[in-house]
Structure 1
Amino acid sequence: MKLIAKKCFPKAIQVTDRFHVQKLAIEALQDIRIKHRWEAIDLENDLIKQAKASKSEFKPETFDNGDTRKQLLARSRYLLYKAPNNWTQNQYLRSKILFDQYPDIKKAYNLVQGLRNIFNTATSIQTAYTKLAHWYKDVEQTGFKAFNTIANTITINYKSILNYFMNRSTNASAESFNARIKAFRAQFRGVKNVEFFLFRLTNIFA
């Protein structure tokens, strides 16, 4: 796609959309949560087997908000997408318990918020470059493999990522147009004649 854009629009400045970068960080955070959730499921299954073997009643551990460990990790999914000031009271209580039980999730969440703050507060390419360098160091110190992958991706594509801070441009208009094309294509349940389809697009939307 970069090569196509470069050949078709040689004087254009390419920008990597901030939301795709943030999405990678959020997915890395959710991977850590999911890993702990599978561990919690395995632990609960083992405890249930032990209870059956000893012919006793199994009572799962519950936290102050009424969640079991498995429920805590499952119900924390959506609060990790949000900034703390957007949490409900229940989400705030759940996050407190979650971060106490899983410090690595708290570290990963802080990395996601740190990256989001860079995009929200940096006012120039130079400022953003400095803040991203500090964020990169924080990632290295945590040792999270998934976040190291994101940091390396940012390093490779840093020029187009930093270009966002010139005009704070996103590809929202392109995504919107792409959605309109998909909706138009869906009306015909697929396209056999691509050239005629492009001709119709040009006449309708150009």
Structure 2
Amino acid sequence: MTTKANDCHTIGGFYGVNGKKLQRQYRDYLSEFKDWKDKPHAKEWLIFPENIGRCLSIDETALSKGELYTIITNKSAKGKKGAIVAILAGTKVEPIIKQLLKIPKSLRDKVKEITLDMAHSMKIIAKKCFPKAIQVTDRFHVT
């Protein structure tokens, strides 16, 4: 048995169905995307407080077309399910802090270590949002 993912066009081809129509049908009716509670703000921020762990990482990344995002991950999830704690548009300190402070303080206080690069903005975010965490400089950013 194969575990490779197939797109709607491939699956449609198996059953003689137009792949584009299958994709639209899935998006509009089967996936419940239209009713997703986070949809109104999903382009700006997504927060998953249930994924917070003792050790987090924070970094910025460009996903596409120069769009910068700040991403916070739970290191113990090792990139698998439960790894994403927050995805926030941009890298400006104040808007990111505003969203992260929506996470209950009791959960933020559980963070004991946060790995980050040497960007001053990331240090401020880590200090304000995870005050009990030790800041560790990511070894890939040290020359």
Relative to the length of structure 1, the TM-score reads: 0.21
Relative to the length of structure 2, the TM-score reads: 0.28
User: Which has a greater percent of helix?
Assistant: 1
The structure with the largest alpha-carbon Rg is: 1
Which of the pair has the greater relative contact order for Cα pairs under 8 Å at 6+ separation? 1
